[in-house]
Amino acid sequence: MKKRIGILTGGGDVPPLNAVIYSAFHRGKDSGVEVVGIVGGWQGLLDKATVDLGRMNFDPSIGGTVLRSSRVNLGKVDQAHKRITKSLSDLHLDGLIVIGGEDTLSNAFHLKDVPQVLISKTVDNDVGINEPGRMVNYFTLGYPTAAEKIASFVSLKEGLRTTAYSHERIMVVESMGMHAGWLAISSAMGHPDFIIIPEFPLDYESLTEKVIERYKRRRSVIIVVSEGARWSNGDYISADENDKDNFGHPKFKGVAEVLAKRLKADVERHFDARNVNAVNPSYIYRSGKPNSLDLESATMLGKESIRLLSSGVSEPVFLIVREASQGFAPEEYRLRELDDIGGFHRFVDGRFYDPIEFQATKEAVNYLSRITVDHGNPVYGLQQNHEEN
Ligand code: F6P
Protein backbone atom coordinates (compact mmCIF):
# COMPACT_ATOMS: atom_id res chain seq x y z
CA MET A 1 0.00 0.00 0.00
CA LYS A 2 1.11 3.54 -0.75
CA LYS A 3 2.90 5.10 2.26
CA ARG A 4 1.63 8.39 3.70
CA ILE A 5 4.12 10.62 5.46
CA GLY A 6 3.35 13.82 7.34
CA ILE A 7 5.75 16.75 7.25
CA LEU A 8 5.86 19.56 9.82
CA THR A 9 7.97 22.56 10.74
CA GLY A 10 8.40 23.89 14.28
CA GLY A 11 10.29 26.66 16.06
CA GLY A 12 11.73 29.80 14.49
CA ASP A 13 11.60 29.91 10.71
CA VAL A 14 14.73 29.71 8.56
CA PRO A 15 15.15 30.32 4.81
CA PRO A 16 15.43 26.72 3.48
CA LEU A 17 12.29 25.20 5.06
CA ASN A 18 10.17 25.35 1.92
CA ALA A 19 13.01 23.74 -0.01
CA VAL A 20 12.89 20.65 2.25
CA ILE A 21 9.10 20.46 1.98
CA TYR A 22 9.21 20.87 -1.79
CA SER A 23 11.95 18.31 -2.24
CA ALA A 24 10.29 15.70 0.03
CA PHE A 25 6.95 16.21 -1.69
CA HIS A 26 8.35 15.79 -5.20
CA ARG A 27 10.66 12.89 -4.33
CA GLY A 28 7.67 11.26 -2.64
CA LYS A 29 5.57 11.73 -5.76
CA ASP A 30 8.26 10.12 -7.92
CA SER A 31 8.65 7.17 -5.59
CA GLY A 32 5.04 6.45 -4.70
CA VAL A 33 4.99 8.09 -1.24
CA GLU A 34 2.28 10.61 -0.42
CA VAL A 35 3.65 13.54 1.58
CA VAL A 36 0.99 15.40 3.53
CA GLY A 37 1.56 18.88 4.97
CA ILE A 38 0.78 19.38 8.66
CA VAL A 39 -0.15 22.99 9.36
CA GLY A 40 1.36 24.70 12.40
CA GLY A 41 3.98 22.23 13.65
CA TRP A 42 3.23 19.76 16.44
CA GLN A 43 0.11 21.72 17.35
CA GLY A 44 -1.18 20.99 13.84
CA LEU A 45 -0.67 17.27 14.38
CA LEU A 46 -2.53 17.40 17.70
CA ASP A 47 -5.34 19.26 15.90
CA LYS A 48 -5.13 17.05 12.78
CA ALA A 49 -4.71 20.15 10.62
CA THR A 50 -3.40 19.01 7.25
CA VAL A 51 -3.03 20.39 3.76
CA ASP A 52 -2.68 18.82 0.35
CA LEU A 53 0.75 20.02 -0.78
CA GLY A 54 -0.14 19.19 -4.39
CA ARG A 55 -2.74 21.96 -4.32
CA MET A 56 -0.49 24.55 -2.76
CA ASN A 57 1.42 27.07 -4.75
CA PHE A 58 4.83 27.47 -3.18
CA ASP A 59 8.39 28.14 -4.19
CA PRO A 60 11.43 26.35 -2.68
CA SER A 61 13.54 29.47 -3.05
CA ILE A 62 11.27 31.59 -0.86
CA GLY A 63 12.11 31.63 2.85
CA GLY A 64 9.89 30.93 5.85
CA THR A 65 7.59 27.95 5.98
CA VAL A 66 4.52 27.52 3.86
CA LEU A 67 3.27 25.12 6.57
CA ARG A 68 3.59 27.72 9.35
CA SER A 69 5.20 26.91 12.66
CA SER A 70 4.53 26.60 16.38
CA ARG A 71 6.57 26.00 19.52
CA VAL A 72 4.85 23.12 21.30
CA ASN A 73 6.50 21.26 24.16
CA LEU A 74 4.97 17.76 24.11
CA GLY A 75 6.39 17.23 27.59
CA LYS A 76 3.76 19.69 28.80
CA VAL A 77 0.85 18.31 26.76
CA ASP A 78 -1.47 15.97 28.62
CA GLN A 79 -1.39 12.45 27.12
CA ALA A 80 0.81 13.66 24.28
CA HIS A 81 1.87 10.18 23.15
CA LYS A 82 -1.70 8.91 23.06
CA ARG A 83 -2.99 11.98 21.22
CA ILE A 84 -0.21 12.01 18.63
CA THR A 85 -0.59 8.27 18.00
CA LYS A 86 -4.34 8.78 17.54
CA SER A 87 -3.76 11.68 15.11
CA LEU A 88 -1.34 9.56 13.09
CA SER A 89 -3.80 6.72 12.92
CA ASP A 90 -6.79 8.96 12.06
CA LEU A 91 -4.78 10.68 9.35
CA HIS A 92 -3.43 7.32 8.09
CA LEU A 93 0.15 8.52 8.44
CA ASP A 94 2.97 5.95 8.53
CA GLY A 95 5.64 8.35 9.67
CA LEU A 96 6.79 11.93 9.99
CA ILE A 97 9.40 14.32 8.73
CA VAL A 98 10.01 16.82 11.52
CA ILE A 99 12.02 19.94 10.74
CA GLY A 100 12.91 21.94 13.81
CA GLY A 101 15.45 23.22 16.26
CA GLU A 102 16.46 21.81 19.62
CA ASP A 103 12.98 22.28 21.14
CA THR A 104 10.86 20.90 18.29
CA LEU A 105 13.17 17.90 17.83
CA SER A 106 13.24 17.17 21.55
CA ASN A 107 9.58 16.17 21.24
CA ALA A 108 10.78 13.01 19.50
CA PHE A 109 11.96 11.73 22.89
CA HIS A 110 8.28 11.44 23.88
CA LEU A 111 7.51 9.45 20.72
CA LYS A 112 10.28 6.90 20.50
CA ASP A 113 8.13 4.33 18.68
CA VAL A 114 6.99 6.69 15.92
CA PRO A 115 8.92 6.46 12.63
CA GLN A 116 10.38 9.94 12.20
CA VAL A 117 13.13 11.64 10.30
CA LEU A 118 14.35 14.63 12.30
CA ILE A 119 16.01 17.44 10.38
CA SER A 120 17.71 20.14 12.41
CA LYS A 121 17.23 23.73 11.36
CA THR A 122 18.21 26.81 13.29
CA VAL A 123 20.32 29.89 12.68
CA ASP A 124 21.78 29.14 16.13
CA ASN A 125 23.57 26.06 14.65
CA ASP A 126 23.39 24.46 18.09
CA VAL A 127 21.97 21.06 17.19
CA GLY A 128 24.70 18.53 16.52
CA ILE A 129 27.87 17.29 18.14
CA ASN A 130 31.32 18.76 17.75
CA GLU A 131 33.73 15.94 18.41
CA PRO A 132 37.44 16.70 18.26
CA GLY A 133 38.45 16.46 14.64
CA ARG A 134 34.96 16.02 13.28
CA MET A 135 31.60 17.73 13.29
CA VAL A 136 28.67 15.36 13.52
CA ASN A 137 26.07 17.47 11.73
CA TYR A 138 28.35 20.00 10.10
CA PHE A 139 25.66 22.67 10.20
CA THR A 140 21.95 23.05 10.81
CA LEU A 141 19.73 24.23 7.96
CA GLY A 142 19.45 28.01 7.90
CA TYR A 143 22.87 28.57 9.44
CA PRO A 144 24.71 28.95 6.11
CA THR A 145 22.36 31.74 4.97
CA ALA A 146 22.42 33.50 8.35
CA ALA A 147 26.20 33.14 8.63
CA GLU A 148 26.63 34.72 5.23
CA LYS A 149 24.23 37.51 6.19
CA ILE A 150 25.89 38.47 9.46
CA ALA A 151 29.38 38.37 7.93
CA SER A 152 28.23 40.55 5.06
CA PHE A 153 26.29 42.82 7.43
CA VAL A 154 29.38 43.87 9.39
CA SER A 155 31.83 43.83 6.48
CA LEU A 156 33.55 46.64 4.64
CA LYS A 157 32.40 45.61 1.17
CA GLU A 158 28.70 45.15 1.89
CA GLY A 159 28.00 46.28 5.41
CA LEU A 160 28.33 48.46 8.46
CA ARG A 161 32.09 48.97 8.37
CA THR A 162 31.74 51.84 5.90
CA THR A 163 29.45 53.75 8.29
CA ALA A 164 31.59 52.88 11.30
CA TYR A 165 34.60 54.18 9.36
CA SER A 166 33.00 57.31 7.89
CA HIS A 167 31.51 58.47 11.20
CA GLU A 168 34.24 57.15 13.47
CA ARG A 169 31.77 54.94 15.29
CA ILE A 170 31.79 52.15 17.80
CA MET A 171 28.93 49.90 16.66
CA VAL A 172 27.56 47.09 18.79
CA VAL A 173 25.75 44.59 16.58
CA GLU A 174 23.36 42.03 18.03
CA SER A 175 23.44 38.45 16.83
CA MET A 176 20.82 35.77 17.46
CA GLY A 177 21.91 32.82 19.60
CA MET A 178 20.24 32.07 22.92
CA HIS A 179 22.77 29.62 24.33
CA ALA A 180 25.29 29.21 21.56
CA GLY A 181 27.55 31.70 19.83
CA TRP A 182 27.80 30.05 16.40
CA LEU A 183 26.03 32.83 14.55
CA ALA A 184 28.13 35.52 16.23
CA ILE A 185 31.27 33.48 15.48
CA SER A 186 30.37 33.36 11.79
CA SER A 187 30.52 37.17 11.66
CA ALA A 188 34.30 36.63 11.80
CA MET A 189 34.12 36.19 8.03
CA GLY A 190 33.15 39.90 7.85
CA HIS A 191 35.95 40.94 10.26
CA PRO A 192 34.33 42.68 13.22
CA ASP A 193 36.83 43.81 15.88
CA PHE A 194 35.38 41.81 18.75
CA ILE A 195 32.88 38.98 19.22
CA ILE A 196 31.07 38.12 22.47
CA ILE A 197 29.27 34.81 22.89
CA PRO A 198 27.13 33.14 25.59
CA GLU A 199 29.52 30.28 26.26
CA PHE A 200 32.25 32.58 27.59
CA PRO A 201 31.04 35.07 30.24
CA LEU A 202 32.20 38.56 29.35
CA ASP A 203 35.26 40.10 31.01
CA TYR A 204 33.85 43.60 30.57
CA GLU A 205 36.89 45.50 31.90
CA SER A 206 39.18 43.74 29.48
CA LEU A 207 36.79 44.36 26.58
CA THR A 208 36.57 48.06 27.42
CA GLU A 209 40.36 48.40 27.49
CA LYS A 210 40.64 46.71 24.13
CA VAL A 211 37.87 48.83 22.62
CA ILE A 212 39.58 52.03 23.77
CA GLU A 213 42.93 50.92 22.44
CA ARG A 214 41.47 49.83 19.09
CA TYR A 215 39.39 52.98 18.71
CA LYS A 216 42.38 55.24 19.38
CA ARG A 217 44.24 53.46 16.60
CA ARG A 218 41.53 52.93 13.99
CA ARG A 219 38.64 55.25 14.90
CA SER A 220 36.10 52.57 14.04
CA VAL A 221 35.16 49.53 16.10
CA ILE A 222 32.54 46.86 15.45
CA ILE A 223 31.54 44.51 18.26
CA VAL A 224 29.22 41.55 17.60
CA VAL A 225 27.37 40.22 20.64
CA SER A 226 25.05 37.20 20.93
CA GLU A 227 21.63 37.86 22.43
CA GLY A 228 22.32 35.28 25.16
CA ALA A 229 25.71 36.73 26.23
CA ARG A 230 26.43 36.89 29.96
CA TRP A 231 28.32 39.11 32.37
CA SER A 232 31.24 37.51 34.19
CA ASN A 233 28.97 36.58 37.14
CA GLY A 234 26.92 34.42 34.77
CA ASP A 235 23.88 36.73 34.59
CA TYR A 236 22.46 37.41 31.15
CA ILE A 237 23.41 40.87 29.90
CA SER A 238 19.84 41.27 28.77
CA ALA A 239 17.02 38.85 29.47
CA ASP A 240 13.69 38.99 31.20
CA GLU A 241 13.68 35.93 33.46
CA ASN A 242 9.99 36.55 34.18
CA ASP A 243 9.02 36.30 30.52
CA LYS A 244 9.74 32.74 29.37
CA ASP A 245 8.65 30.74 26.34
CA ASN A 246 7.05 27.29 26.29
CA PHE A 247 10.41 25.61 26.77
CA GLY A 248 11.50 27.83 29.69
CA HIS A 249 13.88 30.05 27.68
CA PRO A 250 13.88 33.68 28.85
CA LYS A 251 12.98 36.39 26.34
CA PHE A 252 15.95 38.54 25.40
CA LYS A 253 15.52 42.28 25.46
CA GLY A 254 18.24 43.87 23.37
CA VAL A 255 21.76 42.97 24.46
CA ALA A 256 23.36 45.39 21.98
CA GLU A 257 21.48 48.34 23.53
CA VAL A 258 22.53 47.40 27.06
CA LEU A 259 26.17 46.88 26.13
CA ALA A 260 26.38 50.03 23.98
CA LYS A 261 24.91 52.11 26.81
CA ARG A 262 27.42 50.82 29.33
CA LEU A 263 30.34 51.23 26.93
CA LYS A 264 29.26 54.75 26.07
CA ALA A 265 29.42 55.74 29.73
CA ASP A 266 32.82 54.11 30.19
CA VAL A 267 34.66 55.33 27.08
CA GLU A 268 33.48 58.92 27.53
CA ARG A 269 36.49 59.76 29.69
CA HIS A 270 38.79 58.88 26.80
CA PHE A 271 37.09 60.35 23.75
CA ASP A 272 33.86 61.71 22.34
CA ALA A 273 31.53 58.76 22.81
CA ARG A 274 28.43 60.18 21.13
CA ASN A 275 29.02 57.78 18.29
CA VAL A 276 28.54 54.55 20.20
CA ASN A 277 25.56 52.85 18.53
CA ALA A 278 23.59 49.66 18.94
CA VAL A 279 22.32 47.85 15.84
CA ASN A 280 19.98 44.86 15.90
CA PRO A 281 19.19 43.16 12.56
CA SER A 282 17.09 40.66 14.55
CA TYR A 283 14.72 38.57 12.40
CA ILE A 284 16.53 39.59 9.22
CA TYR A 285 19.03 36.78 10.00
CA ARG A 286 16.22 34.25 9.75
CA SER A 287 14.14 35.63 6.93
CA GLY A 288 14.44 35.90 3.18
CA LYS A 289 15.63 33.42 0.60
CA PRO A 290 18.06 30.56 1.26
CA ASN A 291 21.58 30.79 -0.13
CA SER A 292 22.81 28.08 -2.48
CA LEU A 293 24.35 25.87 0.24
CA ASP A 294 21.13 25.93 2.26
CA LEU A 295 19.03 25.30 -0.84
CA GLU A 296 21.14 22.35 -1.99
CA SER A 297 21.33 20.87 1.51
CA ALA A 298 17.59 21.21 2.05
CA THR A 299 16.90 19.49 -1.26
CA MET A 300 19.32 16.69 -0.37
CA LEU A 301 17.75 16.15 3.09
CA GLY A 302 14.20 16.22 1.70
CA LYS A 303 15.04 13.42 -0.75
CA GLU A 304 16.95 11.40 1.82
CA SER A 305 14.05 11.59 4.29
CA ILE A 306 11.78 9.94 1.76
CA ARG A 307 14.34 7.25 1.06
CA LEU A 308 14.69 6.47 4.78
CA LEU A 309 10.98 6.45 5.54
CA SER A 310 10.08 4.38 2.50
CA SER A 311 12.82 1.89 3.32
CA GLY A 312 11.07 1.13 6.61
CA VAL A 313 12.67 3.22 9.37
CA SER A 314 10.66 2.33 12.49
CA GLU A 315 12.01 4.80 15.06
CA PRO A 316 13.21 8.43 15.18
CA VAL A 317 16.47 9.15 13.37
CA PHE A 318 18.36 12.39 13.06
CA LEU A 319 19.28 13.14 9.50
CA ILE A 320 22.49 15.10 9.64
CA VAL A 321 24.73 16.89 7.17
CA ARG A 322 28.26 15.52 7.21
CA GLU A 323 31.35 16.70 5.42
CA ALA A 324 32.11 14.74 2.28
CA SER A 325 35.12 14.90 -0.03
CA GLN A 326 33.00 16.92 -2.42
CA GLY A 327 30.66 19.15 -0.46
CA PHE A 328 28.31 17.55 2.04
CA ALA A 329 26.34 14.31 2.32
CA PRO A 330 23.41 13.12 4.47
CA GLU A 331 23.96 10.63 7.28
CA GLU A 332 21.53 9.09 9.74
CA TYR A 333 22.09 9.11 13.48
CA ARG A 334 19.90 6.97 15.76
CA LEU A 335 17.98 8.85 18.42
CA ARG A 336 18.24 5.82 20.71
CA GLU A 337 21.97 6.57 21.05
CA LEU A 338 20.97 9.60 23.13
CA ASP A 339 19.07 10.00 26.40
CA ASP A 340 17.73 13.44 25.61
CA ILE A 341 18.33 16.34 23.27
CA GLY A 342 21.07 17.56 25.62
CA GLY A 343 23.28 14.91 24.04
CA PHE A 344 22.85 16.55 20.67
CA HIS A 345 23.18 20.15 21.78
CA ARG A 346 26.43 21.75 20.74
CA PHE A 347 28.23 24.82 21.97
CA VAL A 348 31.19 26.87 20.87
CA ASP A 349 34.26 25.76 22.82
CA GLY A 350 37.84 26.93 23.15
CA ARG A 351 38.82 25.47 19.81
CA PHE A 352 36.59 28.00 18.08
CA TYR A 353 36.76 31.06 20.33
CA ASP A 354 39.52 33.06 21.97
CA PRO A 355 38.06 34.83 25.03
CA ILE A 356 41.21 36.92 25.55
CA GLU A 357 41.06 38.53 22.11
CA PHE A 358 37.24 38.23 21.87
CA GLN A 359 37.69 36.60 18.49
CA ALA A 360 37.06 33.47 16.47
CA THR A 361 40.11 31.18 16.30
CA LYS A 362 41.82 29.93 13.16
CA GLU A 363 40.00 26.63 13.64
CA ALA A 364 36.68 28.48 13.58
CA VAL A 365 37.64 30.26 10.38
CA ASN A 366 38.65 26.94 8.92
CA TYR A 367 35.27 25.49 9.86
CA LEU A 368 33.43 28.54 8.51
CA SER A 369 35.31 28.57 5.23
CA ARG A 370 33.29 25.53 4.17
CA ILE A 371 30.08 27.44 4.87
CA THR A 372 30.62 31.04 3.82
CA VAL A 373 33.17 33.18 2.00
CA ASP A 374 35.51 35.73 3.54
CA HIS A 375 34.04 39.19 3.10
CA GLY A 376 37.35 41.05 2.96
CA ASN A 377 39.74 43.00 5.12
CA PRO A 378 38.29 45.97 7.01
CA VAL A 379 41.53 47.96 7.13
CA TYR A 380 41.52 50.62 4.43
CA GLY A 381 41.57 54.38 3.84
CA LEU A 382 42.80 56.74 6.52
CA GLN A 383 43.00 54.19 9.28
CA GLN A 384 45.59 52.25 7.32
CA ASN A 385 47.66 55.43 6.95
CA HIS A 386 47.36 56.10 10.68
CA GLU A 387 48.67 52.65 11.43
CA GLU A 388 51.54 52.95 9.02
CA ASN A 389 52.65 56.32 10.49
O1 F6P B 1 16.06 29.37 18.17
C2 F6P B 1 16.28 30.23 17.10
C3 F6P B 1 16.02 31.65 17.46
O4 F6P B 1 16.22 32.32 16.28
C5 F6P B 1 16.86 32.23 18.60
O6 F6P B 1 18.14 32.61 18.26
C7 F6P B 1 16.02 33.36 19.05
O8 F6P B 1 16.26 33.74 20.37
C9 F6P B 1 14.66 32.82 18.93
O10 F6P B 1 14.69 31.89 17.87
C11 F6P B 1 13.64 33.91 18.81
O12 F6P B 1 12.52 33.45 18.17
P13 F6P B 1 11.04 34.01 18.33
O14 F6P B 1 11.14 35.47 18.66
O15 F6P B 1 10.43 33.73 17.01
O16 F6P B 1 10.43 33.24 19.45
Smallest CA separation from ligand 1 atom 16, residue: 12
Same-fold call for 3-140+290-344 versus 145-285+349-368? yes
140 Cβ closer than 6 Å to some ligand 1 atom: no
Mean pLDDT, residues 307-332 taken together: 94
CA distance 170 to 162: 12
Smallest CA separation from ligand 1 atom 8, residue: 178
69 Cβ closer than 6 Å to some ligand 1 atom: no
100 Cβ closer than 6 Å to some ligand 1 atom: no
198 Cβ closer than 6 Å to some ligand 1 atom: no
Task: Give the bridge partners for 83, in sequence order.
Answer: none
Does 384 score more than 90 pLDDT?
no
Q: What is the pLDDT of residues 76-122, one digit of tens each?
A: 999 999 999 999 999 999 999 999 999 999 999 999 999 999 999 99
**Mean per-residue pLDDT over the chain, rounded:** 94
Cβ contact 322:138 at 8 Å: yes
**Candidates 3.40.1190.20, 3.50.50.60, 3.40.50.620, 3.40.50.460; CATH matching 145-285+349-368:** 3.40.50.460
127 Cβ closer than 6 Å to some ligand 1 atom: no
pLDDT of residue 131: 76
Question: How many angstroms is it from 178 CA to the middle of ligand 1?
Answer: 7
Instruction: With cut-offs at 50, 70 and 90, classify the pLDDT of residue 383.
Output: low
Task: Give the residue with greater pLDDT, 339 vs 210.
Answer: 210
Supply the residues annotated as catalytic.
Answer: 124
Mean pLDDT, residues 324-341 taken together: 88
Record the pTM: 0.96
DSSP state at residue 51: E
Task: Give the residue with greater pLDDT, 46 vs 384.
Answer: 46
Smallest CA separation from ligand 1 atom 10, residue: 12
pLDDT of residue 93: 98
Mean pLDDT, residues 26-55 taken together: 97
pLDDT of residue 380: 83
Mean pLDDT, residues 325-347 taken together: 88
To the nearest 10°, the Cα dihedral for 191, 193, 195, 200? Answer: 130
Atom of ligand 1 nearest to the CA of 102: 1
Lowest mean pLDDT among 3-7, 17-21, 274-278, 342-346: 342-346
Atom of ligand 1 nearest to the CA of 252: 8
pLDDT of residue 388: 42
Hey, where are the domains in the chain? 3-140+290-344, 145-285+349-368
Smallest CA separation from ligand 1 atom 14, residue: 12
Q: What is the pLDDT of residues 266-281, one digit of tens each?
A: 998 888 878 899 999 9
Q: CATH second-level architecture of 3-140+290-344?
A: 3-Layer(aba) Sandwich (3.40)
CA distance 8 to 119: 10
pLDDT of residue 385: 46
Cβ contact 270:286 at 8 Å: no
Q: Are strands 33-38 and 3-9 parallel, antiparallel or unpaired?
A: parallel
Question: How many angstroms is it from 12 CA to the middle of ligand 1?
Answer: 5
Smallest CA separation from ligand 1 atom 12, residue: 12
124 Cβ closer than 6 Å to some ligand 1 atom: yes
Q: Which of 125, 176, 348 to mutate to test the pocket of ligand 1 (most atoms within 8 A of CB)?
A: 176
